Amino acid sequence: MMPRSATILFDPIISPWLVLLVVLGVGYGAWRTYRQCPLNPRQRIGLWLLRVTAILILAWLLMLPKRRTVTVEREDPVLVVAVDISASMTDNPGQLKLTRRDRAVDFLQDSKIQRLCSRYRVIRFNLGAEAEEVVGETEPPVFNAPRSHLGSGINRIVERLKAENLAGIVLLSDGLDQSGERLTPASLSVPIYIPELEPVYELPPEPEEDWYIADIAYPKMMVVNWKANVDVLIRRHGKGAAEFPIHLRQGNNLLRTSMVTFAEGEAFQQVSFSIEPTQVGQTIYQVEIGPGEDADPSNNKRDFLIDVSDPKNRVLYLEGVPRWEFKFLKRALLTEKNYQLSAYVRGGDGAFINFDEMSGRAGGEVPKFTTESLAEYRVVILGDMAASALTEEDCTNLRDFVDKGGGLLFYGAKTSYGPDGLAKSPVLAELMPAVSEPGATMREGRFTADLSAKGRTHPAMAELASATQLPPILSFWSPVKVSEFSSSLLMTADGSPVLVVRPYGQGRVAMVLSDSLWRWQLGGSAGGSEKSLYSRFVTQLVYWLAPNEKDLENTALLQAVISHSQAELREKVTVGAVYDPGENQDQAGVTCKITTPDGKVLVFPMMASTLGTDVGLTKSVNGYKCFFTPQEPGQYQIALSTADGTQEASATVLAEKPENERTGEPLNRKYLGELAEDTGGLFVEWPKRREIFDTMPYQPQEVTLAPEYPIWNKWWWLVILLALFCAEWWWRRRSDLV
């Protein structure tokens, strides 16, 4: 960094002309005073100079001078080194001397490459399921990530470093990408340089006959006594015709058996089973095929786990007239098998007509808003209807339902929010998070919507917080007055609320002020999710509104909660213990014992901690927490016990190999070559790995800095002023002047 120029700047307290007049006036007055005194010329001029110097310094300080130094700093470009840390990097299908992992580590530790990198500002990232920046780590990376999300990881890196001068990205990977995400235009503008971590080789011949279970599609959550299908995809290596049985078991009980028939040359078959769980809790099922002679019997069996919940998880939905919101809201909730939906539409005679949950046909009993009937539901949704649709007794019972812990969602439009809408009932108006102002109407157009600061951290918006940009909305009800107890989670660009929530008693209330959010359904899934953005929004909002049994249970009883009951190998699992000994602190403490699939018992210390969304709770509670990482597939039995041994709790985690980690596959040269070509980079053979730095651009930037430093507030100005005043006073006293 070298200075280019220095300048003195002023920021006067008062007008410079006024300062000049004061200096001239004081100087002239001091000279006239000393001329009238019996002093010789030397004394007269000396005293006058002391006073004028002091007033000049005061005038200088009133100008508030500061010094600006312009400097130019040369900034080296940034070079990103992205390392794929997925488990497939340790594979060696060609039985080579060096694996992909070995070559990646060798590249990072190569002294010549380190010298070539030294002129750049190197930032390293580890690419697995996420892109994580490596800070201050000198040890080789651990290659154990269950997935390789290369496309999405590169996009995240470029987005994070968009303000930097990026020279390029050096990618150390096998190219087995599972993200399926294409590079953004910003990522395509950054050249990617890829050294080949594995030479071309001839794959060993495949076994002549090998049948294996390739995939199982099943609902991970179900309601007791509900039927669902389990679809098993069976593949094989080989060409001969074959027929063999496939079994579905629950524990030691054989539930179903079917026959699988492969014609000659047929590559796969799909078999479907129907299951209907009869008990609440975690249920482990097993699928097994029996092909007889098989090259690899280890892949003929797969376990899977389903969480079976209580059918009390019911949602009541009342709609005024059929509309698009009714269609898509109902469809979104029907996909959530751990909730049962009862949907009703108001007919022309004012009575509600039931739409059967499974078939969508009209029929059944009309809803009753008694205390007993409402107790069967977790959440009530009120659509676009007038206040006359409900009696005052209905409204009172609905308020009591929320006060005792139920959830209520206002999902209306012109009718429910208008003059004759639900707010006409004083009871419902008390529940509403927002009420219409005079002249409120449904504004139509194309409006930007985004989460508020509160919404980005609110659990009801967990499914939207990760979205970089939400689709626009085409309508919203405005103006409204938001209750002092409410929070706006989703808002338009001008600050008008679209989603408002509030607590009421022990329950929760939400209010949607738009009738066009259903259009988010038309955009398809977001971020590769199986569910559309609208479905994720609706289901997460209902989850938040619904009272959670885990939240309502007494924490003096030991309960086991886990982050997820089905995990992949090398994926961290959080184990929580909801337990508060209260005043009996001598009994505090929980022990966690985990029995692995091979029968080993592991003991993990549990630390006092606050449990929340990391273990599936919707509010924070006191408890204990520990972590473990499954290293082999199978069932992990978790047993928790209190320090005094009086309470126990258990849970099960089923660990399996990652479904999308393509272990055993060779280097994906096509993907890596296209990645380098599309970005203007290079994909080079391993012996030429150092040559990538010959073509890598080096374009440092010059950054001009102009810091300003005040020079009026230094302590020595006060010392000089005191010295001048003291000198003048001493000289005046010596000359017998007053």
**DSSP letters spanning 324-368:** HHHHHHHHHHHT-TTSEEEEEEE-TTS-EEEEPTTT--B-SPPP-
Of residues 146 and 58, more confidence is placed in 58
Average pLDDT (120-145) is: 85
Question: Which positions ≥6 away from 133 have C-beta within 8 Å?
Answer: 123, 124, 125, 160
- pTM value surpassing 0.75: no
Q: Would you tell me the crossing angle of helices 324-334 and 533-545 to the nearest 10 degrees?
A: 70
Question: What pLDDT does 404 receive?
Answer: 78
Q: Are 697 and 168 in contact (CB under 8 A)?
A: yes
Q: Mind listing the pLDDT tens digit for each residue in 444-465?
A: 988 888 888 888 878 888 777 6
Give residue 400's pLDDT. Answer: 87
Coil vs helix vs strand at 486: coil
- Judged by average pLDDT, the poorest of 365-379, 538-552, 671-685 is 538-552
Is residue 358 scored above 60 in pLDDT?
A: no
Q: What number is the average pLDDT over the span 550-558?
A: 51
pLDDT score recorded for residue 245: 92
Which pLDDT band holds residue 571 (cuts at 50, 70, 90)? confident
Q: How far is CA 674 from the centre of its chain?
A: 30
Residue 614 has a pLDDT of: 75
Tell me what pLDDT residue 685 has.
93
pLDDT at 432 over 50: yes
pLDDT given at position 608: 87
Nearest to 401 by CA among 501, 546, 551: 546
Which CATH number applies to 314-545? 3.40.50.880
* pLDDT attached to residue 338: 62
Mean pLDDT to the nearest integer, 665-672: 88
In the block, tokens 């993200």 appear at 179
Position with higher pLDDT, 581 vs 731: 731
Question: Are the C-beta atoms of 481 and 522 separated by less than 8 Å?
Answer: no
Judge whether 391 and 374 are in contact, CB under 8 Å.
no
CA distances from 691 to 421, 682, 683, 695 (A): 72, 10, 11, 7
| Residues composing the chain | 738
Residue 705 has pLDDT above 80, yes or no: no
User: What per-residue confidence (pLDDT) applies to 554?
Assistant: 42
Of the candidates 445, 496, 450, the residue with the CA atom closest to the CA atom of residue 475 = 445
374: helix, strand or coil? helix
d(CA 308, CA 306): 6
pLDDT at 528: 40
According to the model, what pLDDT value does residue 525 have?
A: 44
544: pLDDT strictly greater than 50: yes
Please report, for residues 38, 241, 641, 691, the alpha-carbon distance to residue 371 in angstroms, rounded to integers and kept in the order given.
Answer: 108, 63, 39, 77
Can you tell me the mean pLDDT for 486-506?
89
Instruction: Report whether 460 contacts 452 (CB < 8 A).
Output: no
CA quadruple 326, 414, 459, 555: dihedral positive or negative? negative
Across-strand partners of 602? 594
- Cα separation of 301 and 286, whole Å? 7
Give yes or no for a cis peptide into 630 (omega within 30° of 0): no
35-49, 437-451, 609-623, 638-652, range with the lowest pLDDT: 609-623
Using the 8-state DSSP alphabet, how is residue 694 labeled? H
Say if residue 112's pLDDT is above 90. yes
DSSP string, 270-310: EEEEEE---SSEEEEEEEEE--SS-S-GGGSEEEEEEEEE-
- Please state the rounded mean pLDDT for residues 432-441: 91
Fold annotation for 552-656: Immunoglobulin-like (2.60.40)
Is pLDDT of 365 > 70? no
CATH for 77-198+666-695 is: 3.40.50.410
CATH topology of domain 210-309: Immunoglobulin-like (2.60.40)
- Per-residue pLDDT at 565 exceeds 70: yes
End-to-end CA, the chain: 56
Q: Cα–Cα distances in Å, from 377 out to 16, 317, 352?
A: 77, 10, 17
Of the candidates 684, 681, 708, which has an alpha carbon nearest to the alpha carbon of residue 696? 681
Q: What is the pLDDT of residue 188?
A: 93
Asked whether the predicted pLDDT for residue 142 surpasses 50, the reply is yes
Tell me which of 390 and 529 has the higher pLDDT: 390
Of 462, 452, 516, 459, nearest to 490 by C-alpha is 452
Q: What percent of the chain has pLDDT over 90?
A: 21
- Segment 279-327, tens digit of pLDDT: 777 788 999 998 887 777 888 888 888 877 665 568 888 888 888 888 8
Distance of CA 102 to the CA centre of its chain: 33
Q: How confident is the model at residue 55 (pLDDT cuts 50, 70, 90)?
A: confident
Q: Domain spans of the chain?
A: 2-72+708-734, 77-198+666-695, 210-309, 314-545, 552-656
More confident: 264 or 443: 443
Alpha carbon of 508 to those of 317, 405, 416, 512, 545: distances in Å? Answer: 16, 7, 19, 14, 6
Query: Within 13 A of 263's CA, how many CA atoms are on the CB side?
Result: 1
Residue 366: what pLDDT?
A: 60
Q: How confident is the model at residue 349 (pLDDT cuts 50, 70, 90)?
A: low
Between helices 41-62 and 715-734, what is the axis angle to 10°? 160
Q: 77-198+666-695 with 552-656: one CATH topology?
A: no
Alpha-carbon span 487 to 465, nearest angstrom: 16
**pLDDT value at residue 551:** 43
Q: Are strands 253-262 and 221-223 parallel, antiparallel or unpaired?
A: unpaired
Q: Which residue has the higher pLDDT, 550 or 721?
A: 721
Q: What is the mean pLDDT of the chain?
A: 82
Spell 555-568 as b/e; 16+ CB within 10 A means b: beebbbbbbbbbbb
Count each helix (H run) and each strand (E run) in the chain, helices first: 16, 38
> 199 near 96, Cβ under 8 Å?
yes
pLDDT of residue 329: 84
